[in-house]
Amino acid sequence: MQLSKLIPVISTCGLLVCELFFMGQVRAETAPAAPHGKHGMHMIKADSDRDGKINYEEFRAAREKRDQKHFKHMDANGDGFIDEAEKKAAYDKMKAFHEQHKASHTPPAQP
């Protein structure tokens, strides 16, 4: 094949690659930011109308739902009250969880 016939083909391919790259960049710049970790998932769940924003009512409703869940976990006997023993048990459980999480995510010590 002659070089003069290859140049338009190569140029067209180059333009297509540039266009695809540019379109990918535009999509990446205009796409909503991905949530980070557990807190990002809370944000997605709180946005009940899926408009990408959380208004006060959505925030309040999500907080109330989390508070009810936490209360239910702490109220071990289900009597509707958290007594000292349940409070201490919840604290101890939370402390153990955080210590385990910290230990499993601590980088090894430098020599």
pLDDT tens, position by position, 75-89 = 999 999 999 999 999
Which pLDDT score, from 0 to 100, does residue 103 have?
Answer: 85
Positions in the chain short of pLDDT 50? 3, 13, 15, 17-18, 25-31, 34
Yes or no: say if 48 and 61 are a contact pair by the CB < 8 Å rule. Answer: yes
Residue 44 CA to residue 33 CA, distance in Å, equals 11
Residue 28 CA to residue 21 CA, distance in Å, equals 11
Which pLDDT score, from 0 to 100, does residue 42 have?
Answer: 66
Query: How many residues are given for the chain?
Result: 111
Residue 62 CA to residue 92 CA, distance in Å, equals 26
Which pLDDT score, from 0 to 100, does residue 25 have?
Answer: 45
Give the list of residues 6+ apart from residue 34 with CB closer than 8 angstroms, or none.
Answer: 40
Which pLDDT score, from 0 to 100, does residue 27 have?
Answer: 42
Which pLDDT score, from 0 to 100, does residue 62 have?
Answer: 92
